[in-house]
Structure 1
Amino acid sequence: MNRGRIKQILLITDGCSNHGEDPVAMAAYANEQGITVNVIGVVDEKVIDEAAMREIESIAASGGGVSQTVYTQVLSQTVQMVTRKAMTQTIQGVVNKELQQILGKKVSMEELPPDKRGEVMEVVDELGETMHLEMVIMVDVSASMTPKLPTVKEALLDLSISLNSRIGENEFSVCVFPGKRADVETVIDWTPRLESISSIFSKLSAGGLTPTGPAIREGAALISKKKRKPERPAG
């Protein structure tokens, strides 16, 4: 069996987009390219913007991913949970398609007898540990996010450590929006670890607009244009 790749965009934001393309449409476009879009909304305890929360949920739904709105202090656990949950969701989708081909009819894992379901879940868990993960992390650096960026940095470092325990390869790219000279700026190109994020985050300056749609479009382009080594079939 070919291990394949899991392609994800993780969007970390605290508000509504107000510049560029519709982010919900861009998430749907990314999902059509085989990329899952996950969104974490970072909110203040005193202020919860209903419109922003609706947009966060809509982007993830359109991008085939997972959304979660959290307070800053629990961001680290949430980033890891959302990433793992979305990986499992993607793999389950692939496995359901395989089952359909084998059985000749549309069957989801939930419809299988308990013993068969257990076997399939073992395969899903194994693939979650062994598949190649390509992940573009898009961080909103608009003015309201500035006090939250140290926590975002720590959460991403924790994510890198957590995912390094997998057998499969991880590759991360980190972009910020808005960038200094454009809507989106790539601050870390493809790398297996995120340690370099500490020095980069200390130099970031906050921008005014929130170009979420262009950010998702750029994330999808980064994954689509990525140069890849040929896959080695599993033994």
Structure 2
Amino acid sequence: MQVANSNVDGVNLKLLHAAIRFNALMLGLTGGTIAAVVIYFATHASMARWGADSGNYLGLLAVFFPGYSVSSGGAWIGAFWAFVYAGLFSWLSYRLYGRVLGSRISELLLSAAPTDNPVLRPSIMRLHGASLGLAIGAMAGLGLFFSTTWLVVRGTAAESVHAALLANYIPGYSVSLLGGLVGGLGLFVFVFIGCQLLAAVYNKIVETRHK
């Protein structure tokens, strides 16, 4: 408890951890809600556009969304699972980012007004590419690995031709336990590099506008 209430590099850790928990919750709710809305309306749009053939593509989501179907009732079930998956992914990604970043937050804050506590002053926060890459990359890699593992466990790996297409973009991937592991590591690398580039561009824009 003493550590949680101490200051490190000018940052009140207790306040920082509370802010991370709150932001993670808000991001999870927001991400989950957006995903739920997208799946709900995509299902209805598919029914309106293709009618009886509307389940040819979106229907594949039933592999990961138990009870889902391209129907009015299925749209609600799909929205529920989309909210759960996207919300959990967003929440865990932000929590992990906050954990990895830690007290280094003080190094990323740009502020025009000096104060004793940089967490409380009006500030612009830059992104920490490595921490962001580790957080989102780890979640993406684990997501691919567990999704592939689920296809193997349920015995539909050989029939998962759409999942197998990922091998065109992720070297070494296949719908198997080993392929899922290799693909997960490859996806982690891609996402990590992408986050580094995103952080570099974002920070450059922020620093330029802050001058």
Normalised by the size of structure 2, how large is the TM-score?
0.30
Which structure is richer in relative contact order (CA contacts within 8 A, separation 6 or more)? Answer: 1
Normalised by the size of structure 1, how large is the TM-score?
0.28
Identify, as 1 or 2, the structure richer in helix. Answer: 2
